[in-house]
Amino acid sequence: MFTVEFSNPACQDVREVGGKAAGLAEMTAAGLPVAPGFAVTAAAYRRYLDEAGLRPFTAGVLAGLGTEVNQAAFDDAERTVVKRLGQVPLPEEIAAPIRDAYAQLCRDAGVADVAVAVRSSATAEDSVGASFAGEFETWVDIAGAENVVAYVHKCYVSVFAGRVLSYLAEKRIDPNAIEMAVVIQKTVRARSAGVMFTLSPTSGDRSKIVLEASWGLGLSVVGGEVTPDRFVVEKIGLDIAESSPGYKHIEYRRGDAPQEVAEERRLMLCLTDDEVTALAGMGKRLEKIHNSPQDIEFAVDEELPDGNNLILLQCRPETVWSNAVRKPVFDASAGMMSWITGSISGNPATSATDAAGVHNHSHQH
């Protein structure tokens, strides 16, 4: 099976569709609002590498890299592989089901040549803790069956990008083990979009949900091109604890190039309180489903009516604070009287988590 729709339970198999697609399928199954689409499976990627001796070829190039982290060598490898893969298009055996699935998506959306986002959804054995943070490409506003097939091919090639190889080397992940599944998803007409963590990324506080959002597509937020609006929501009770407007001077209406935001909208909050609360509620549900803090991308679709316009784009486990070892606040062996003594003497317990001081926590996509 080379393609599988989000609504198909088979799409929740993370080994076959990658974390991104599996997350979307899980959200779909949970009744959460997700833009419709399908995944091109890891099986399709494996089938592609079976073409024209690509697997032994790429393995050979990768073997030539040795064990050292050498950016120049990675970049050389990229050039070599890109050239070769560029000469090998997707076989019809893969391209045909992609065209069919895309045609179905167009029918479901009621739009001919519906615009889609093509996003990598990499998977690899033994890489549970790796996020592939922002390493692989995402393209939005791709329209037409042949374009979709072409961008899936681009996605495959991106596995061998120099920076990806460098990331994998650092994470000690074998590039041969990477299998590139691809998400094809209806492009959202985003009035606003952003990122939500179901904990405070700066303090690790799990009782907070933090959202950052800007006008247009989420690219400007993820890419750090604007100072987004920031919302802090109480996970318990879903009260908005903080809304601070950012300075949002550009927005991506389409995937290609940003455009200027009118002066009077730059400081205006791009989400309403109701939207913030509803999104946080979805984040809370997702955290419960996955039983761990989540890192979620969302958008507000301007083509959809209020109350029905929130779209979740992706959901993945938060990795930095979630992987930190958490110790109880007080020294358990010291006992209650010692805790009380410290507290009333102005020297409460020492830091609660080994991850304290992690400040460079960034959203991963």
- Return d(Cα 265, Cα 246) in angstroms, integer: 11
Rg (CA), the chain: 22
Phi, psi of 304 (to 5 degrees): -105, 155
For residue 149, what are the contacts with CB-CB under 8 A and spacing of at least 6?
90, 95, 98, 99
Task: Report the residue number, 87 or 360, with the smaller CB distance to another protein.
Answer: 360
Do 214 and 257 contact (CB within 8 A), yes or no?
A: no
Sort strands 116-124 and 240-244 into parallel, antiparallel or unpaired: unpaired
Binding-site member from 97, 201, 204, 258 for another protein (CB under 8 A): 204
Among residue numbers 278 through 337, which ones bind another protein (CB under 8 A)? 326-330, 332, 336-337
Size of the site for another protein (CB under 8 A): 36
Shortest CB 234 distance to another protein, Å = 7
Residues 6+ apart with CB under 8 A from 168: 174, 175, 178
Should residue 237 be labelled a site residue for another protein when binding is judged by CB under 8 A? yes
When binding is defined by CB under 8 A, the residue of 71, 259, 323, 343 that contacts another protein is 343
Name the amino acid, one letter, at 338: S
User: Stretches 75-83, 96-104, 120-128, 338-346: which one binds another protein (CB under 8 A)?
Assistant: 338-346
SS3 content of the chain, % helix, strand, coil (to 5): 40, 25, 40
Least CB distance to another protein at residue 204 (A): 7
* 346 contributes a contact to another protein by CB under 8 A: yes
Among 1, 10, 128, 340, binds another protein (CB under 8 A): 340
Cα dihedral 166→39→290→199 (10° resolution): 60
Nearer to another protein (CB atom), residue 29 or residue 352: 352
Closest listed residue to residue 87, CA positions, set 36, 42, 53: 53
Q: Residue 155 CB, nearest distance to another protein (Å)? A: 37
Q: Is 239 in the site for another protein (CB under 8 A)?
A: yes
By CB under 8 A, what part of segment 33-92 binds another protein?
A: none
Residue number, 207 or 323, with CB nearest to another protein:
207
| 344 binding another protein? (CB under 8 A) | yes
What's the min distance (Å) between Cβ of 307 and another protein? 24
Min. distance of Cβ 359 from another protein in angstroms? 13
Q: b/e map of 55-78 (b: 16 or more CB within 10 Å)?
A: eebbeebbeebeeeeeeebbeebb
CA distance 202 to 126: 28
For residue 359, state whether it binds another protein (rule: CB under 8 A): no
141 or 234: whose CB is closer to another protein?
A: 234
C-alpha–C-alpha distance, residues 56 and 49, integer Å: 9
- List 101, 161, 169, 232, residue binding another protein (CB under 8 A): 232
How many CA atoms lie less than 13 Å away from 15 in the CB half-sphere?
3
Rule CB under 8 A: choose which of 208, 248, 266, 316 binds another protein: 208
Please report, as ranges, the residues that interact with another protein according to CB under 8 A: 200, 203-208, 232, 234-237, 239, 241-242, 326-330, 332, 336-346, 348-349, 351-352
